[in-house]
Structure 1
Amino acid sequence: MKDLYSRTNVRSEILFLFTLLFLSSCTSDNDYYQTVPVSSILEARILELYGSKDELILPSETDYSNIPSDPNNPITQAKVELGKFLFHETGLAKNPNMEIGTDMYSCASCHHAAAGFQAGTKQGIGEGGIGFGIKGEGRVKNPLYLEEDIDLQPIRTPSALNVAYQDVMLWNGQFGGTGTNAGTEDNWTIDTPKEANNFGFQGVETQVIAGLGVHRLVIDEDEIINSPYKNMFDLAFPNDAPENRYSKINASLAIAAFERTLLPNQSPFQEWLKGNENAMSEQSLNGANVFFNQGKCFTCHSGPGLNSMTFHAIGMNDLAGEEINTVVDMATAKGRGGFTQNPDDDFKFKTPQLYNLKDVKFYGHGGSFQTIKDVIEYKNNGIAENNLVPADKLSPNFTGLELTDVQINNLVSFLEIALYDNNLNRFVPDTLPTGNCFPNADSDSAADLGCD
């Protein structure tokens, strides 16, 4: 009965709002027009699409019961606090390719708050990089390293924001042993990072387990027991036997729990959804209406994270050319298909989340666009830039949108301003228990970060 009442209320609200819209288009005998606020038009559209604005609201980062979690890794405050430190801890870099890389980098080297938890450069550098700059844009190759010893990936670093709303990770979705990846078990190749899917965790947990190994970050039980981290592991995993407590798996679960709390819930759009009618500018409100109407952005970017677990081929270029070690192999170029080995998935890449994009200058899985406006215009034109992608592989959603310049500029305002949480530093520790510099600890970075 309660559900029926709720649905009736939603239908009534939608009917009322659309009645206002109808009246706004009609004239009386006196040519009197009733203007409907742009905010009301947006609310009506969101109610039509989702039934409630609540469906797009991100929970508080401390509201652990409402943050999507892995059933095998429930979020607790103790795990989050431990994970926050381990995510930024340069002291885990104990197995570098070159000795000079010891204690010099961390998970946050390529996923830091200053760049919206992406890398600040077109191609993120873990080991083998030096410098930071202001938003990570100053990180460059260490001239003492051979190119084959530098730790970087042949694809843009995805943001760690809103990973709670993603059950598989990376552009090809190869990490995650449940849900979206059900049926891909034959591709969880032994002796490769994909083997971590066999632990049965969701995407972010699996990615961290694999990532600690890929990036040669070490959880050493003896070192943990003799460090300030011992007590934090004890609080985070009190039910584990001591001989199993200080492990790589538990460290990974703590980091994943922390990453799930990286929610840009203080952005203007989120404030508007929660009832602050003045949170967004008129231009951003108009841009939101484009997003949920003519721009058709909502067809792929949905839910609180404005992402989805869908994969699409839209013909963007790969990361290649002027960058280091970026001869992109065909498995990487094929995206989801390179992982699943299903030709129907070839050249498809995961729909990314859309919050806090403006702190970086590279967009798309290959970083081939310099501004958010560039990406919108690319999708508006509907013409692929990557000649490797056959026309018959392109998504049916990748068609010209016929947006006007005004609509494009409004949409840019919504994406750049209304989806921007300017307080991501709340997710960054003031200091580490070890006292190490972070997210990088090389001398150039230390100078840039003010911790030398």
Structure 2
Amino acid sequence: MAGDLPAALTSADFLDFDRDQAALGQSLFYDTILSGNRNISCAHCHHPDFGTGDGLSLGIGEGGQGLGPDRTPGTDLSRIAKRIPRNAPGLWNLGARDLTVMFHDGRLSTSDLFGNGFNSPAEEWLPQGLNSLLAAQALFPLVAQFEMAGNPGENEVIGAVHDRIDNAWPILAKRVRTESDYGRRFVAAFDHIETPEEVTIVEIANALAAFMAIEWTSIDSPFDQYLAGDSAALSAEQKAGMDLFYGKAACSTCHAGPLMSDQKFHALGLPAFGPGRTRVFDPYARDVGRMGESNRLDDAYAFRTPMLRNVALTAPYGHNGAYATLDAMVRHHLDPGAMRYIWQKQDANLPEVPWLAATDFIIQSDRREMARQARSVPERGPDLTEAEIAQIVAFLNSLTGTTVDTPPFGVPAWFKP
């Protein structure tokens, strides 16, 4: 029998955003104008066709071509120099009032540490006036070399980033506000903006946040309907899976509360591959997870608990996209050691990049690092039957919103990947 279920999410659980600003944010989200080389948009890694992700284990960022699993790594001098080190997370429900931390390692959180409302990689250089955690988050892909900024020597944005992170944002803001249509729209959407010259990166980030929050708030899944009082919203199999999720399987220990996340960090012992998100002094490709932010040994290889609304749409799963299916991810939670043992390199959805192939799995040849990671692998979970695993997967599918295919704004007709 299920334990205590969370309260139903309602519109009151989400921040209020302006729809005119959101409409402006939609254009910016799908426009390549915010990338250093004007060749990639936010949507290339977070597209609704792939559950607001990209369908890849590790993404292909700046320099790549195409969209989703068919995206290619580019050619000649413009080709990618590195895979994106972590899986592109979904963007569902990021406007929630109770959300306090973002990114797989939690390097962005609400905080008074630097006097601007956030603890972030920009520290005291993060600008004042950002209206939400989501707005702060929107700033960092723009100045990430392999995501949107480009490589040194290619454009003025990445050059400014390497001088100091906040030096790049005024360059992007000027680029946007001097485009006549954007300048006019900012004046119309923001009451405090009287001329395009007043537009800063803060208004750009706030517009992006307004769009993402309004576009991808999702609280109408069968599970949400059940929580709201519709006892017939779940099938018998989904109901049995819910009972396991909140009972015997103990999934809700971490996927807790209305957002289905404790917003904490846990080591799952996922198979290791890819470049990892390394610290400056790490000499090799590994990903230490939360420890890279906290510098606490207890946080080694731990990653943030993801929220689960629309999880069936956001494959592959894990901080590095190690598993292609919900079934495999559930099985890993139940027996991490066994799943690590049987995992194969071909299980990772990594488009072929010949010049990176030698390093894609190089971490697995480092015996000492593999031993360190093995010590963080959790113990086995409860023993479940095949039928019970199928029931949990059925429940996870019940978290898919009923209106995800009809969002308020949609993809602009002019967007060409």
Give the TM interval when normalised to the shorter protein. Answer: 0.7 to 0.9
Residue aligning to 1:405: 386
**Aligned residue identity for 2:183:** K
The letter of the residue matching 1:252 is A
Match of 1:109 among 44, 49, 57: 44
Query: 1:267 matched to which residue of 2?
Result: 221
Shift of 1:286: 0.7
Equivalent residue number for residue 407 of structure 2: 427
Within a 5 Å distance, the mapping from 1:210-229 to structure 2 comes to 210-214=140-144, 215-216=148-149, 219-221=172-174, 223-229=176-182
Structure 1 residue 225: Cα displacement: 5.0
Q: 1:173 aligned to 106, 111, 114, which one?
A: 106
Q: Does 1:283 align with 2:237?
A: yes
Aligned partners of 1:92 and 1:106 also within 8 Å: yes
Matched residue of 1:263: which SS?
coil
Q: Which residue of 1 aligns with 2:190?
A: 237
Shift of 1:287: 0.5
Distance 1:249 1:437 in 2: 24
Which position in structure 2 is the counterpart of 1:337?
291
Q: Which amino acid aligns with 1:82?
A: L
Amino acid at match of 2:32: T
> Normalization by structure 2: what TM-score?
0.74
Contact persistence 1:117–1:160 (CA under 8 A): yes
Q: How does 1:245-394 map to 2 (within 5 A)?
A: 245-261=198-214, 262-320=216-274, 326=275, 329=278, 333-383=287-337, 385=340, 387-390=370-373, 393-394=376-377
- The one of 26, 29, 48 aligned to 1:87: 29
AA matched with 1:300:
C
Distance in 2, Cα, partners of 1:221 & 1:298? 46
Q: What is the Cα deviation at residue 171 of structure 1?
A: 0.5
- SS of 1:212's equivalent in the other structure is helix
Distance, in Å, in 2 between the alignment partners of 1:188 and 1:352 is: 19
| Count, aligned residues | 355
The residue type paired with residue 157 of structure 1 is: A
Matched, 1:68 2:14: yes
Please name the residue that 1:25 is paired with: none
Partner residue in 1 for 2:139: 209
2:56 aligned with 1:121, yes or no?
yes
| Equivalent position amino acid for 1:329 in 2 | T
Question: Counterpart in 2 of 1:139?
Answer: 71
Deviation at 1:162, TM superposition (A): 2.1
Matched with 1:33 is none
- Tell me the distance in 2 between the aligned counterparts of 1:341 and 1:106: 32
2:91 matches 1:160: yes
C-alpha distance in 1 between matches for 2:388 and 2:248: 9
Say if 1:187 and 1:81 are closer, same or farther in 2 by CA, change over 3 A: closer
1:367 alignment partner, SS class? coil
Amino acid at match of 1:316: L
Per the normalisation by structure 1, the TM-score is 0.69
1: CA distance between counterparts of 2:50 and 2:204?
24
For the residues of structure 2 that align with 1:149 and 1:239, how far apart are their CA atoms? Answer: 41
- What percentage of residue pairs aligned between the two structures are identical? 25
Post-superposition Cα deviations, 1:153-206, rounded to whole Å, max 9, x if no partner, equal 211111111223432211001123428x899x99856xxx56665758553222
Letter in 2 for 1:126: G
Q: Which whole-Å CA distance do the structure 2 matches of 1:360 and 1:169 have between them?
A: 17
Partner of residue 22, structure 1:
none
Superposed CA deviations along residues 392-421 of structure 1, whole A, max 9, x for unmatched, are 5456xx542111211111001111x20112
Root mean square deviation, CA, Å: 3.2
* C-alpha distance in 1 between matches for 2:251 and 2:207: 34
Runs of 4 or more, structure 1, over 6 Å off, are: none
Distance in 1 between the 2:118 and 2:133 partners? 17
Q: Quick one: structure 1 residues 197 and 374, their matched pair in 2 at CA, closer, same or farther if it must change by over 3 Å?
A: farther
Greater C-alpha Rg = 1
Shift of residue 357 of structure 1? Answer: 2.7
Change (3 A) 1:186 1:229: closer
**Deviation, structure 1 residue 82:** 1.9
One-letter identity of the residue aligned with 2:84: Q
Q: 1:187 and 1:78 mapped to 2: Cα distance?
A: 29
Structure 1 residue 128, shift from structure 2 partner: 1.7
